[in-house]
Amino acid sequence: MLILTATATGQGDQDNDFTWTTEGELVWLGLVCDRDLRDPDGGCGCGRAFSGLSSHRATTTAMVRDLPLTRDDVVQALVGYLEAAGYGTFTAASLEDEVDELLAPLQRLSAGDIVRRRLDELLVLPRAPRPT
Ligand SMILES: [Zn+2]
């Protein structure tokens, strides 16, 4: 299935890029603080960043990858991330909406797409021209 993963590809296109994640790990659109809700280019960075589910670190670029995962795998990864981060205890059922919000926009994307985040919106970077 198509899923968002951390990547360093595309880094440096924007002055305020950063990537502290592990290449290829699953990411999601983590929570955004009040400061970045007013300006995703503000000093915090959470409004333009994807959160790595394994590293608990962030990156401003993500790659759509087609991985041999099920929806349940993604739910369990998110449960593990949230519990490890100290947000409490979660059941798979309690995260249905979050997983839907994560997966639904990917239906219009393709494996290999590089995306950026502006709060709740995903922006797809243009593909580099192929060498002829
Ligand atoms: Zn923030």
Domain membership flag for residue 129 = no
Domain coverage including residue 84 = 2-124
Mean pLDDT, the chain, whole residue set: 94
Domain membership flag for residue 61 = yes
66 three-class SS:
strand
Give the pLDDT score at 130.
64
Strands (E) in 1-132, as ranges, are 2-6, 27-28, 50-52, 58-59, 62-66, 114-118, 121-124
Report the separation in Å between the CA atom of 58 and the middle of ligand 1, taken as the mean of its atom positions: 11
Look at the chain and report how many structural domains it folds into. 1
Report the separation in Å between the CA atom of 131 and the middle of ligand 1, taken as the mean of its atom positions: 39
On whether the CB atoms of residues 4 and 115 are closer than 8 A, the answer is yes
38 three-class SS:
helix
Residue-wise pLDDT for 29-56, tens only, equals 998 999 999 999 988 999 999 999 999 9
Report the separation in Å between the CA atom of 132 and the middle of ligand 1, taken as the mean of its atom positions: 43
Question: Which residues, other chains included, contact 49 with Cβ-Cβ below 8 Å and sequence gap of 6+?
Answer: 18, 30, 58, 59, 60, 117
What pTM value is reported for the model? Answer: 0.92
Domain membership flag for residue 11 = yes
Domain membership flag for residue 105 = yes
Report the separation in Å between the CA atom of 104 and the middle of ligand 1, taken as the mean of its atom positions: 24
Domain membership flag for residue 80 = yes
Domain membership flag for residue 131 = no
